[in-house]
Structure 1
Amino acid sequence: MADAVSKLGWDKLRTKSRQSLPDFLTESDDSLPAVLLPHQQAAVAAIDANEVVVIEKSRRIGLTWGVGSSATLYASASRAAGGMDVLYIGYSLDMAREFIDVCAMWAKSYGLAASEVGEALFRDTKADGSSDDILAFRIVFASGFEIMALTSRPRSLRGRQGMVIIDEAAFHDALAEVLKAALALLMWGGKVVIISTHDGDLNPFNLLCEEIRKGQMPYALLKITFDDALAGGLYQRICLVQHKEWTPEVEKQWRDKIIAFYGDAADEELNVIPRHGAGAYVQAALIERAQRGDAPVLRFEREDAWAELADHLQKAEALEWCEEHLLPVLEALPAYDTYAGQDFARTGDLSSLWISQRQQDLSFPCVLLLEMRNIPYEIQKLIVFYVLARLPRFKGGEMDATGNGGYLAEVVAKRWPCVVKRMITVQWYQEITPKFKAEFEKDTLIMPRDVDVYNDHRAIRLVRGVPQIVREDQQAGKGEGKKTRKKRHGDSAIAHMLCWAASQHPEYTNPDYATPASTGLIPAAEAASTRFADPDHSYMPYRSY
């Protein structure tokens, strides 16, 4: 019964939390700021003045909030006053819910007569005559018009009139078809609003923007960068809502933090400069949604000279690091089915070991991400064995066996038969990556909130029709007062894909497999020990290797 109550009550609680303006915006004090910020006002003015408006924008500037105010006014007005239906099309169900929540808040604030937010089934008739129902969200106004929000389907626009809002257009799978259907509504006095962050300079959205700039399309084009929004008071408004004191210094710190989060993607995501080439395969919003986990990201990195140390000194230092940083994490892992994936590198790039667990609700959260840079082969072997030997219910893994990774993958697979040696090929990408992206869309993946993890997953791009990792340098921090360049090529994303792939193939796992410690081959006390007299096996928690 508790689950049913939670499910029924969640939407109401969520809507209630959003359907109200902050207190300071409801007070009648002339000294208080306008409800809409300048960039939001500019968007509303452009919608009023033009049939077609294209807005290329930064992320995190609250534009949906401003556009929702305009949509609510149009849907609530009478036909004589220019009222019309509003059809919002996002690329995910969460976007549709959020937009409807925003419009419901505006309707309540305006004091408009409108129905409660409700779910509706939209009949989608396909070209072959068959049909299925799409979940949509709707608000009906006393004017007779409505706001309906649903996911991207070109056919959903057939037979409808009014305003069409296409949000995050660059990330729609069939943008050209959606635009074609939307622009047909202009014949009967409709409006089309196309909003998006960029996703590569070859994306249809950017090509549309370029056509407008060249004068080839008679549409209005509005560009809003992150700094434009800040100059208009975005962070001051955030401080006002959160009851914080605003100062220029605090705003700069906040701006620097946001830019640091996006890393090399900041130009595209915040400065509205499309990246050269095809766009990212997994949408930024999906990656951000998945980055809600608190799994530790541990990094073991050493200088070149460290590789020249005596073997026993390297092992002793590596073991000390493992016991200080890894052991507490591994001992705290819950008893769920556990999977591993590793992308290997010795120099230049880094080795990334991704550990995830399949939980009761079928989600697949990362529980540990370990990255090793400039670490000798034998020490990488020591650390990987240290981790895998302590994983609860370890069911399987996949390890990059391409090039130098073949050695480590081989010795691990020999010790753990449930680990597969995987060659990373175009064919592998073609088979795995679309399914991997679908897991983001289903919201089953949970990742650590880390800028390198974000950038690695954004490095999955379409290359000649195949989604794969695109190698490129990325900024990776600062050292000794100056920026240092450290190469990444989607390392954690490859490890994540390998880990997820291991969880999808039952033939790769052995449900009867158990570590020697769990079968009673050695005493529990000895199994827990990490040091033995034999230096070659001091990293193993048991002798039966």
Structure 2
Amino acid sequence: MSLPLVLDSTATLLAPAVLLDYQKEWIGIRAPLKVGEKSRRIGLTWAEAADNVLVAASEKSAGGQTVYYLGYNQDMTVEYIQACAMWARAYNYAAEQIEEGIWPDSDPDKHIKTYTIVFPSGHRIVALTSRPSNLRGRQGVVVIDEAAFHADLAELLKAAMALLIWGGEVHVISTHDGTENAFNDLVNEIRAGKRNGEVFRCTFGEAVADGLYKRVCLRKGIEYRLEDEIAWVNGVYGFYGDAADEELDCVPSQGGGAFLSMALVEQRSSRDVPVLRLAYPQGYETLPEPLRLAESLEWCEEHLKPLLAAIPLDVQSYYGMDFARSGDLSVIWPLLKEQNLRKRTPFVVELRNVPFKQQRQIKFYIIDRLPNFLKGADDARGNGSQLSEETAIEYGFNRIERVMLTEGWYRDNMPPFKAALEDDTFYDIPADKDVVSDVRAFRMVKGVARIPEKRTNEKGEKSGPKRHGDAGIAAVLADYASRQDVEIFEYHRVQPATQHDREIKLGAGWRSQKGIW
């Protein structure tokens, strides 16, 4: 049987590690609020029970607290408390047997059934079968399991958060139940920076990669074989069918609409922000390079120089760039962070069919003149990788972020962008039909806001130049750049020391020889 084995210092063969890596990672997150976005049946609650027993069994001086577990039905509550009892025995902790009890509810005609384990530390693990309105006023750790399926998660979270004031913790664990669910809202709020907390994510595939099927084999007492694992995984996905994305891959269902509303984008738009468009005809790249570079420089001097000169010198500057050579657009989106931390757009540049060297020339022309330039973010996929690398070499790899626009990147960075628009900290989007359409081009695809594959035509024309959300991607990249930490190097001129200063520094016993030291 192929199992992950642990060796002690004398190379004695020991049992497999009790917890798998993703379970250890979940337990290792120590934060007042942590949220587990997970697949079905990967044993995250089982790992949580292991940690809860250690917390409840510890003395107060060692960080021990009472743990309150809230499941949305009685079966899962019983399963959890039995897991806690198992862990207590495994740790060889003295603990009372599981006690069943009743808590009064705010509704006098209802009662809440409880299961309790009491430890010699004086702390308890209390498992509840339904939402207790009297959770308020208590202290300790609250575990909300399968949170997306609780009747009123928003109100439950309000009550639970009060425990944080006195040093408690709130652990929220769940699979998804749609994009409009309060659990999905909580995950996105944390990712957007609107709420403090840590998000942990583990799909079924990631759990299998960490050894989930091998653990199944261990429990069943059967030999592990790779072909059996593949068949088992396929069988699980086949069982869930169309629901597999949500149940196994942490993708909330019922999504597919526009990520940003027209009303929101229009509220943040301004007619005073220009869009500079430069387009060259097919075959332009065959002209002599000096002629092309001279024409581009002339365009920069005429159109960009006045706008760059008008930018105040007391702002911090960033940019985002979505790159394309032919077909789609290259878009450069400068962003200025003001004293009050609001971020505004001075102008946007769109380049169509502009040769590589001229794109480099125009991009560097802008960056060289952005006051207090701190950070840029480039679309580094495909042909964009070369220009992004050249920019990083010119301005520093610490200042130029080379971004691969993956699903994970969109998942982490679209919520903060939306939050910035909602909070009015990202504003002055050009009031331009094509730019606004690009910013609104993000769609919910498998629960993640991203640009779909379908392209659109400019200005609503049935044929003609295509767009692919290019300005929207540049805007998100600019916002991303503005949220990154930047190393700032400062240089201060040192005045040359005088002869008198040198004599003082050298001290007694040293003398100059003809003024040379």
The TM tier, using the shorter chain, reads: 0.3 to 0.5
**TM-score when scaled to structure 2?**
0.47
For the pair shown, which has the larger CA radius of gyration, 1 or 2? 2
